[in-house]
Amino acid sequence: MDIDFSPEDLAFRDEVRTFIAENYPADLRGKQDEGDELAKEDFLAWHRILHKQGWVAPAWPVEYGGTGWTPTQRFIWSEETSRADCIRLMPFGLSMVGPVIYTFGTPEQKAKFLPRILSGDDWWCQGYSEPGAGSDLASLRTKAERDGDDYIVNGQKTWTTMAQHADWGFFLVRTNPDVKQQEGISFLLIDMKTPGIEVRPIITLGGEHEVNEVFLDNVRVPIENRVYEEDKGWTCAKFLLAHERTGIAGVAGSKRGIEKIKAIATTEMDGDKPLLSNPFFRRKVAELEMDLTALEYTELRTLAGEAAGKGPGPESSVLKIKGSEIQQRITELALEAAGHYGAPYFRGFGEGDNEHPIGPDWAHRTAPSYFNVRKTTIYGGSNEVQRQIIAKMVLGL
C-alpha cells in the first residue's frame, strides 16, 4: 500500500490533533501523569466524548456506527491518540464482542447491544480463560445445559479483566461434552447482574485490581443471548481472537514508549552520564526501533487487507507475537533505566509524609509495569500457540 500521506490525510491529521487538544479531559491527563489507578468513569469519560463525535469505533462498518475512515486514516488516528498519550478505550465491547455481534448476531441482538456498546452504556468483560484452560482454550469446562428457553451455566473463569465494573460479559461455555472439544462450545452473552454470578478480585504484583475470578453457580441465561449456532461458538471465538491479536500489537503505543525511554536516557541521573551515552544501552534502543518499524509495516499491510475485505488471517499471529515481545522489551529497558529507583518496595515511600516517593517520578511505575506486561505474551493466545498457527497456516507444516 502507499504509505505517503495525501493532502487529505494531512488535513485529517490536523483535524484529529485539534480535536484531541480541545476535547481530551484535563483531569484525566492529570491522573495519567501522576500514575493514579483509573476508575470506570475515567475510562468512560473519553469514550463518551468520542461517541458524541462519532469516532468511538473507527473499525466498525458504517452501517453499525463506524467512521468510514480509510486504513490510512485509522492508522493516523492510532498514531495521534498515542502521541497525545490518550487513555486506551476498553476493547472488550468495541474491539471484541461488538464485531462478533455485527458479524454473527441476529438482528435483535444487533439492535439491543451495538448502540449501547458504542455509547458506553454497557461495559463488557471477557469470559474465556479458566483454571487449566488458558492457552488451551478448547479444553474449557464451564458448562451450559438447556432448561426450556434458558441455559443453566456452571463453572469458573479467571483473569477476567475489569469484571468488577462489567454490565455484560461474553462467555465461552461447553454445551456438548460428547464431541470434539472445539465442536461442543457455544458463545453466550450474560448479564453480569444475574443471580449466581460472583466476581472475586485478583490483585496484581503492581497492587492494582485489574483482573478477577468469576464464578457461575446455576446462572440462568436466555437462549436468545446465544450468538450464532449452538455448539458452533468456536467460530465466533476464533474470529474474536484474530481481532484481539491484531489489537495486542499496540504499535502506536510502543512508539510512544520508546520515545519516553529515549527522553529518560538523554538526561543525567544521580550525576551519571545519560544512558544513551552507553553504547550497549543505545544498541538495545536502536534494535527495538528497527523491530518496531518492521512491525508497523506489517500492521499497515493488515489494515490494507481489511480495507480490501479480507479479515485478519495468520498475520494477526505475527502482529501478536512481535507486538507483545516489543512491549515487554520496552518495560525491560525502562526498568533498566530506573535501576534501584524502580524497586517495587520503594513505591509510596516518601520524605516524612509518604507523599513524595524516592527518586524521579517516571521511575515509580517501572517495576509494576514490567511485571504487568509479562502477561502480553500469554493472553490472546500464548506466543507459543501463535507460532504453531503460523507453522500450520503459512509454512504448511
Residues 6 or more apart whose CB falls under 8 angstroms from that of 27 comprise none
Distance CA(263)–CA(142), nearest Å, equals 48
Written in H, E and C, the secondary structure of 63-98 is HHCCCCCCHHHHHHHHHHHHHCCCCCCCHHHHHHHH
Residue 386: strand, helix, or coil: helix
Residues 6 or more apart whose CB falls under 8 angstroms from that of 60 comprise 66, 67, 94, 98, 99, 102
- For residue 248, give Cα distances in angstroms to 132, 143, 234, 323: 23, 29, 20, 7
Q: Which residue out of 80, 210, 244, 315 is catalytically annotated?
A: 244
* CB burial of residue 268 (10 Å; 0-12, 13-18, 19+): exposed
Residues 6 or more apart whose CB falls under 8 angstroms from that of 93 comprise 117, 122, 123, 124
Distance CA(266)–CA(285), nearest Å, equals 12
* Sign of the dihedral defined by the CA atoms of residues 270, 271, 277, 279, in that order: negative
| Cβ–Cβ < 8 Å for 299, 249 | yes
| Cβ–Cβ < 8 Å for 105, 113 | yes
Calculate the CA dihedral of residues 360, 332, 330, 340 and round it to 10 degrees. Answer: 10
Chain center to CA of 284: 26
Residue 92's Cβ-side half-sphere holds a number of Cα atoms within 13 Å equal to 21
Q: 101-112: buried (b, 16+ CB within 10 Å) or exposed (e) per residue?
A: bbbbbeeebbeb
Q: CA angle, 94 as apex, 92 and 100 as ends, to 5°?
A: 80
Distance CA(199)–CA(276), nearest Å, equals 46
Q: Is 213 a catalytic residue?
A: no
- Strand pairing class (185-191; 168-174): antiparallel
Q: Looking at the annotation, which residues are catalytic?
A: 244
